[in-house]
Structure 1
């Protein structure tokens, strides 16, 4: 299992073999690799192998390769620099930019003639290979989670190694005004007294105001105003599109993130609701904003923050919800895990059985009052449940589920239980969206992607339509072929997100704008919609 990096729902809680993240699990480097490599004592200086280009001298620099795992191709970059004062004579780091993981310390750089070993103990992984192509490549394998994956590294310039193609990123000149803003946020995070001041960007059409406005609310985890994920900036792309077509857009950094103050850790959905309300209050003070057309657009967790905020004020006039959760949090997480494991190769029967077991386990957790810490006895029960689930799997399903060595599996369980028992996760699991959605009275558009494996439409669309059945001004639609980030996808797996060049499918943006125009929230855009 890997943790959700800097994301809590974008990258779901999984016992899996996803690679490279700091709490990722693997056996020791020596156990992982198919062939034994140089030992600690076989450093460059001791081997004396300096007569060929295949030595430490030719190892220095930037190395880039592609790792094929879980149906996705991940970019791996090693930065290696000789340094007399550094441990083992090297300053070295590893990056997985597609996963948003950078600066992972490589604590051992071992060279023996033309063999290289790079040990990354913080993620319990290692690369081992042999110089090739006259010293401009290293042919080897990455080992982690008890598995070895082929990895061919090539020498690269830093500029080329980190180049990512994101063709939708907005580029100047911009046909709208851009204003950097700050405003008072909501209540301080529980257990802290640090005030929340939110920093963001307001984009304003150059047409005559006052303008209708959408406040963008990010998905879970510490997110900046652009909802940056894996070098994609979906909220920037969306704001650019909407402001080109007559809609003002306010997007802001989460509390405690980037330029916003406050404390993000342990903040819950209730805290984010107060921040959404603060944004609405701020917009109400501006003459260039139409106070009668203020809407909230939320993605993932933000799509559940928005409706809750709308029930606490009369100043929110409409909602746009991207991938809202419509079932209890326990049911969502259990189904999410089952779908993702199935996508990674687990059998359908195995994934279904695991969903049932996980739901039973999560139900035990939510029965513990949120205002009380999770007891040692319950932690012991949760651990036993997950071990029993693993033991009940077929050998093939067990390999998909996670590391098979007892030591590695225990390490994984430690990490997962820390996440499961955190304040935010407990509040998410206890969430019952029906209590909110059944009370909505303002126009609401909800959109899902048919290939979303994290908030699956098959699980959520029906219940959401039932919750909104008495509210005539609602639209619930599913866009074909799109994933949780509303990209055109092949599998819908999170491992695919970074490999897709498209940040937001145009159909999503057109669907939002069409709905706003149909309700006269914004006037019709020019025939050559921008």
Structure 2
């Protein structure tokens, strides 16, 4: 399972530094692009000491099934230059589209068998690639399927319920609403909130985004997985995915799975995140994704798509 460096040139010329994990054996190999959630994340979905470590287990499971995986550092993170604080939600989407095209054009990769996996924000961009680019299959891990502002407000309400805020809850909600109003009223890329710089451009673009149009435009196979202990994305959004995607769609509401793709038998709470991140990603998730993609990117499914 060799890892090789791969740099993707974004639309504005910025080099996105990444890792291409290849299966053993001769190509051309089917492949997937892996897109991570929100924040200052590197190619493995890590942000400093907060380590999601999603890239390695997914890449390993896919390589075992003969599928290559590309993942890259976001703008201003790791080995990719740029300014993360000034990067928009649409920049992330455009970078993902450039990476998908570069992966399909890579020697040794089967250009007709390149899919995309997205987690959280990455899942929303994966919906876009499934509708607007030549992705052969789409995997959505904990992706929201409602307007961005609605998704954010639900997330804030659900996470605050799991915190011991007591009488501070209405005060903090008022402060959050005031900060959100300031961000929306601004035209600047970066706004200071309580003295800290905030990526205001990303926030405005995410709030305005509605993924339902992209879901309705997808014609390739879709696998959507959300845990029933997810407090950041409503598991009921799986019903929207199933209703809007026209074609082969499979959804799973996984028992005890959290937004971090770790299982927790206890009450759903963001307070468990520090404990959960000390454990690896639930092994069933990479295995399920790899099995599903192997059925659609290799063998008879790929041959049928090429013939059609």
TM-score by length of 2: 0.84
Question: In 1, Cα distance between the equivalents of 2:102 and 2:188?
Answer: 36
Cα separation, partners in 2 of 1:461 and 1:284, compared to 1, 3 Å: closer
Matches within 5 A, 1:79-98: none
How far off is 1:206 after superposition? 0.8
SS in 1 for 2:86: coil
For the Cα contact (< 8 Å) 2:3–2:20, is it kept in 1?
yes
For the Cα contact (< 8 Å) 2:137–2:293, is it kept in 1?
no
For the Cα contact (< 8 Å) 1:214–1:248, is it kept in 2?
yes
Aligned length: 294
Is 1:514 matched with 2:294? Answer: no
Question: In 1, Cα distance between the equivalents of 2:176 and 2:73?
Answer: 33
- The residue aligned with 1:320 is 139
For the Cα contact (< 8 Å) 1:484–1:492, is it kept in 2?
no
- The residue aligned with 1:336 is 155
Of 95, 99, 107, which aligns to 1:279? 99
More helix by share: 2
Root-mean-square deviation (CA, aligned residues, Å) is 3.1
- The residue aligned with 1:443 is 221
- The residue aligned with 1:228 is 46
For the Cα contact (< 8 Å) 2:86–2:201, is it kept in 1?
yes
How far off is 1:361 after superposition? 7.2
SS in 1 for 2:250: strand
Cα separation, partners in 2 of 1:327 and 1:361, compared to 1, 3 Å: farther
How far off is 1:366 after superposition? 8.9
How far off is 1:367 after superposition? 7.4
Q: Which runs of 5+ in 2 are unaligned?
A: 301-308
Is 1:486 matched with 2:261? Answer: yes
- The residue aligned with 1:16 is none
How far off is 1:453 after superposition? 0.7
For the Cα contact (< 8 Å) 1:337–1:355, is it kept in 2?
no
SS in 2 for 1:472: coil
Structure possessing the higher relative contact order (Cα contacts under 8 Å, 6 or more residues apart): 2
Question: In 2, Cα distance between the equivalents of 1:357 and 1:433?
Answer: 28
Matches within 5 A, 1:250-261: 250-261=70-81
Of 13, 33, 37, which aligns to 1:219? 37
- The residue aligned with 1:178 is 3
SS in 2 for 1:311: helix
SS in 2 for 1:294: strand
- The residue aligned with 1:23 is none
For the Cα contact (< 8 Å) 2:61–2:290, is it kept in 1?
no
1:348-400 deviation line (CA, Å, top 9, x unaligned): xx98x9999899879967975x8x459xxxx9xxxxxxxxxxxxxxxxxxxxx
For the Cα contact (< 8 Å) 1:298–1:322, is it kept in 2?
yes
SS in 1 for 2:85: coil
1:169-224 deviation line (CA, Å, top 9, x unaligned): xxxxxxx122112231233xxxxxxx410111111111332111011111111211
For the Cα contact (< 8 Å) 1:335–1:355, is it kept in 2?
no
How far off is 1:262 after superposition? 2.8
Of 467, 475, 491, which aligns to 2:244? 467
SS in 2 for 1:438: helix
1:241-278 deviation line (CA, Å, top 9, x unaligned): 21122110111111221111233222112111221122
Question: In 2, Cα distance between the equivalents of 1:502 and 1:255?
Answer: 27
Cα separation, partners in 2 of 1:361 and 1:433, compared to 1, 3 Å: farther
Cα separation, partners in 2 of 1:307 and 1:366, compared to 1, 3 Å: farther
Q: Which runs of 5+ in 1 are unaligned?
A: 1-175, 188-194, 380-410, 525-530
Of 305, 324, 340, which aligns to 2:125? 305
